[in-house]
Amino acid sequence: MKLYEYTDTYRFLIDQVESGECTDEDIRDTLELIRIEAKDAAVNIAKVILDVDADSDKITHEIDRLRAKRDTLERRSRSIREYLARQMAELGMQKIQTPICTISLRKSSKVEVLPEFVRWAITYNRDELLRYKDPEPDKRRIAELLKAGEDLPARIVQTEGVLIK
């Protein structure tokens, strides 16, 4: 039987009790059977949950391992690229053309911002040079205030979850 079927059986039993169609002994026997079988079903479901959680953890670990490997490869590629650019510049080679590939040096630029830039922009009213993030609620602080009795346009929602140890 599936776990939801035990719930249906339990509801049917309640209907039978209310209509007076069951004896006390029938009720006790059926309830005990439902409890035992439902407990076994719940334990089996918990085992499946633990297996799925373990698989999820393995995937997370593998993602982290692959991410670290990708980062290492990207650093290696960047280092080799910089080495090639230095060597070509020192040899005065702007472009190398072969049937396999074309390698060329190109000029590029980027902005390096000094650590004190934000303070400077605020001091001199240069807000157009800054980006501001949208504010977001501090749910931990809001929960503290709600528990302390403060009236806020928020609420604490109680949920029930399953803990498997």
pLDDT digits (tens, 9 = 90+) for 14-26: 777 667 777 777 7
- Does residue 122 form part of some domain? no
- Does residue 138 form part of some domain? no
pLDDT band at 38 (very low <50, low <70, confident <90, very high): confident
- 95 three-state secondary structure: strand
Residue 36: which domain range?
3-106
Rg, the chain, Cα only: 33
pLDDT band at 3 (very low <50, low <70, confident <90, very high): low
Name beta bridge partners: 103. 96
What's the total number of domains in the chain? 1
Check: CB of residue 20 under 8 Å from CB of residue 11: no
72 Cβ partners below 8 Å, 6+ apart? none
pLDDT score recorded for residue 130:
95
Instruction: Identify which of 6, 9, 42, 2 has the alpha carbon closest to the alpha carbon of residue 162.
Output: 42
- Does residue 157 form part of some domain? no
- Does residue 23 form part of some domain? yes
Query: How many CA atoms within 13 Å lie on the side-chain side of 25?
Result: 0
Tokens, residue 23: 């004896």
Residue 102's φ and ψ, nearest 5 degrees, are -120, 130
pLDDT digits (tens, 9 = 90+) for 43-61: 877 888 898 899 999 999 9
pLDDT digits (tens, 9 = 90+) for 107-162: 888 999 999 999 999 999 999 999 999 889 999 999 999 999 999 999 999 988 87
- Does residue 133 form part of some domain? no
User: What's the angle, vertex CA 19, arms to CA 14 and CA 23, rounded to 5?
Assistant: 75
